[in-house]
């Protein structure tokens, strides 16, 4: 049912987290979710070309800065949900 609606369990079970000053979700709520989505996408052979480069750039940005912007998180979720 979730796959049919393209919804993640995390978005169903978690309460919206507060935003940090830089715009992204606070580290405690989103870190594990973001890391799992990125890892899963990079392990998925369907993610290739410019889409893979984009996910790799998000990983590099996240590793460097410790957060993603709300728009970056949104796009990451969209890619993840399409590649389930």
pLDDT single digits (tens) 9-21: 555 444 444 445 4
Give me the helix-helix angle, 70-82 and 49-65, nearest 10°.
140
pLDDT single digits (tens) 68-78: 999 999 999 99
Give this prediction's pTM: 0.65
* Structure confidence at residue 22 (pLDDT): 53
Q: Residue 31: which pLDDT band, with cuts at 50, 70 and 90?
A: confident
pLDDT single digits (tens) 36-80: 999 999 999 999 999 999 999 999 999 999 999 999 999 999 999
């Amino acid at each position: 049912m979730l796959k049919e609606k393209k919804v993640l369990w995390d978005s169903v079970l978690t309460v919206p987290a507060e935003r940090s000053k830089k715009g992204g979700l606070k580290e405690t709520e989103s870190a594990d979710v973001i890391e799992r989505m990125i890892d899963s996408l990079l392990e998925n052979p369907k993610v290739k070309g410019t889409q893979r480069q984009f996910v790799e750039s998000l990983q590099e940005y996240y590793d460097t800065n410790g957060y993603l912007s709300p728009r970056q998180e949104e796009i990451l979720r969209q890619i993840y949900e399409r590649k389930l």
